[in-house]
A and B are shown apart, each in its own frame.
Chain A
Amino acid sequence: MPSTTTASEVEAATLIASKREREERREREERMGVKVYGMPMSTNTVRVLAALNEKGVEFELVIVDLRTGAHKQPDFLARNPFGQIPVLEDGDVVLFESRGINRYIATKYAEAGPDLLLSGGTLAERAAVDLWLEVESQQFGPPIAALVYEALIKPMLGGATDAAVVEAQAAKLEKVLDVYEARLAQSKYLAGAEFTLADLNHIPYTNYLMKTPKASLVTSRPHLLAWWQDVSSRAAWKKTAAGIPF
């Protein structure tokens, strides 16, 4: 007997099933909620919390205490094989690398809060966001992370700040910040007229820099300072900063 189901009926049934799967997955994600595994003083964890707060997304922060080596335990390595925080869990989705997580948050919740990736914009506008995201990752991130570690984190862990390292990293960061000063003289935010993920990804480390004597790197550059005062006065950032224990 020939089959009574045609190829197009099978295709239609498959499309309906995958649409239903997606709906079920969304429902599961909403029920389970978003979890972030990290520590409240970790800049990379804060980077993700800042994005969630901009989008008004409720989340649970699950502490992974680096001081006890929790990040090297098998249950954590199953989530991030590189053994680093943060990790984001959203239903079945498990992500690591804070900058990648933030792209996911900006995309999933594009309709809520600011359009952090300018997903509704032109190719040129979206490229400007990607450009300054890469500048943060490649140019700004390495020297500021090394400087903040030496000046702020090391003493907290019982070590002694090496002033020569601070000076060397500050010298590198100064050259980078000259480029930012020139950019922000032409543009209110890094990617253009609107606040985007490119600005947000800079906030956690800059926040820590401002607690060191090297805050002068920002305060001595008028447009950079104005930008910092603007982005750090956002309600979502104030909420995020309130959760940082120092």
Chain B
Amino acid sequence: MAVKVYGPAISTATVRVLLCLEEMGAQYELVPIDYSTGEHKSPPHLARNPFGQVPAFEDGDLMLFESRAISRYVLRKYKSSGPDLLREGSLEESAMVDLWLEVEAQQYDKAISAIYIEIAIKPVYFGGVPDEKVVAESVEKLGKVLDVYEARLSKSKYLAGDFLSFADLSHIPYTHHIVASPHASLFESRPHVKAWWESLASRPAYKKVTAGTPTSK
């Protein structure tokens, strides 16, 4: 039976889960959730995700939310049909995967999501204007984070080591938008970061999931 992912295809957190499903060649159904009608706060969706957010996930009787937790489940369940993206067979490798996943969640995500909200979400969904001060501060913050990434990626091909892992994929959803924005230079100006991104963006799963996903210009 196909698993179900509830969420809009453009939602960055939903994309995180879809990337993992595509990388593992899993069958799934995407059930759209309409933010414009407040569907994410409706009782049926709150039963799936009590925080009223997307994505939510269903596999038979199992209901999950939080994209990073859903992704770990998907990567374990379909382990035999795709790349080993969690490296749970090796204590040292999985420790590096988990470390860079935490860096993504704690350092990278906070800076890059703030940029995305100002330049893409506010204008398009709320008819607002980007707060240039917030953008500038977030760009500076992200730049410092990317300096650490540049140093790391000059020593290893991917974040956790010389192997692709979920830690790399988890960066894709927001990065996809920012490299198509006026702030692409954050990535273009750092040669190892640039090469790393181009490697991720060349993957078929990335192309499939982001085809038709609008990016801010």
Residues of A within 8 Å of B105, CB to CB, are: 137-138
> How many contacts between A and B, using CB within 8 angstroms?
74
B73 touches A123 (CB 8 A): yes
CA distance A218 to B103 in the complex (A): 30
Among the listed A81, A108, A123, A139, which residue makes an inter-chain contact with B76, where contact means beta carbons less than 8 Å apart? Answer: A123
Query: What is the predominant secondary structure among interface residues of chain B facing chain A?
Result: helix
| CB neighbors of A among B24-46 (8 A) | none
A126 within 8 A of B: yes
Q: Which of B62, B69, B145, B148 has the most CB of A within 10 A?
A: B69
Proximity bits, A176-201, B CB within 8 Å = 1, else 0: 10010011000000000000000000
A81 touches B102 (CB 8 A): no
A130 within 8 A of B: yes
CA distance A82 to B66 in the complex (A): 25
A131 touches B102 (CB 8 A): no
CA distance A131 to B62 in the complex (A): 12
B151 within 8 A of A: yes
Proximity bits, A201-243, B CB within 8 Å = 1, else 0: 0000000000000000000000000000000000000000000
Contact-residue size bin, chain B (C-beta under 8 Å from the other chain): 20 to 34
Among the listed A96, A127, A133, which residue makes an inter-chain contact with B73, where contact means beta carbons less than 8 Å apart? Answer: A127
Contact-residue size bin, chain A (C-beta under 8 Å from the other chain): 20 to 34
Residues of B within 8 Å of A81, CB to CB, are: 148, 151-152
A127 touches B103 (CB 8 A): no
B64 within 8 A of A: yes
Distance in Å: Cβ of A124 to nearest Cβ of chain B: 5
| CB neighbors of B among A164-180 (8 A) | 176, 179
Residues of B within 8 Å of A176, CB to CB, are: 51
| CB neighbors of A among B74-110 (8 A) | 76-77, 91-92, 94-95, 98-99, 101-103, 105-107
Residues of B within 8 Å of A152, CB to CB, are: none
Residues of B within 8 Å of A96, CB to CB, are: 99
A134 within 8 A of B: yes
CA distance A108 to B93 in the complex (A): 12
Residues of B within 8 Å of A137, CB to CB, are: 105-106
B64 touches A100 (CB 8 A): no
B99 touches A100 (CB 8 A): yes
B65 within 8 A of A: yes
A72 within 8 A of B: no
CA distance A139 to B65 in the complex (A): 12
A103 within 8 A of B: yes
B102 touches A133 (CB 8 A): no
B157 within 8 A of A: no
Those 7 A-B pairs whose CB atoms lie nearest each other, nearest first: A97-B102, A134-B66, A130-B69, A100-B102, A100-B98, A131-B69, A127-B73
Q: Would you mind naming 8 contact pairs between A and B with Cβ atoms under 8 Å apart?
A: A93-B95, A97-B102, A103-B98, A104-B94, A124-B62, A127-B70, A135-B51, A137-B105
